[in-house]
Amino acid sequence: MSERFILIPGRTAKQGCGISEGKFGESYQSEINSLQMAPADMQQLGLSSGDRVRLYNEQGEVTVAVYAAKGDELPPGILFIPYGDLSSRLMGGDTHGSGMPTSKGLDVEIEVLPRPPAAS
């Protein structure tokens, strides 16, 4: 079963600091491969920090780790992901004459993925 959300990609301060070690460095990659969600939404979906979800829309799909946003940074129903490879896969190619594709307010579906079995 999936739930519909609005995805807001953007830049983060941590992403900006991570660029100093390069876009393929651990800090930068960790930042752009994580999704932030309102704690209430995580609770409703039975998610814990680090769980993996599949985001998809008519443009594409990605699998990403989800983390609770701090405090009330995100209202319920809104997701945030830093700009990067994953966010780009969910953007369309139409630039509406501006040269930049629409990158804010993307309608996405989210599917909770099963947790891997615990190591024994």
Is position 31 within any domain? yes
Look-up: residue for tokens 């999704």?
Answer: 35
Is position 84 within any domain? yes
Q: Give the distance, in angstroms, between the CA of residue 8 and the centroid of all CA atoms in the same chain.
A: 8
Structural domain containing residue 34: 2-112
Is position 6 within any domain? yes
pLDDT tens digits, 12-24: 766 666 566 666 7
Total domain count, the chain: 1
pLDDT attached to residue 90: 80
Q: What is the mean pLDDT of residues 38-67?
A: 93
Q: Rounded to 5 degrees, what are φ and ψ at 14?
A: -65, -35
Q: Which of 73, 101, 70, 69 has its CA nearest to residue 87?
A: 101
Is position 119 within any domain? no
Is position 90 within any domain? yes
Beta strand spans in the chain (E): 2-10, 34-37, 52-56, 61-68, 78-82, 106-112
Is position 72 within any domain? yes
Alpha helix ranges (H) inside the chain: 13-18, 26-32, 39-45, 85-88
pLDDT tens digits, 71-94: 788 899 999 988 877 887 787 656
Is position 75 within any domain? yes
CATH of the domain at 87: 2.40.40.20
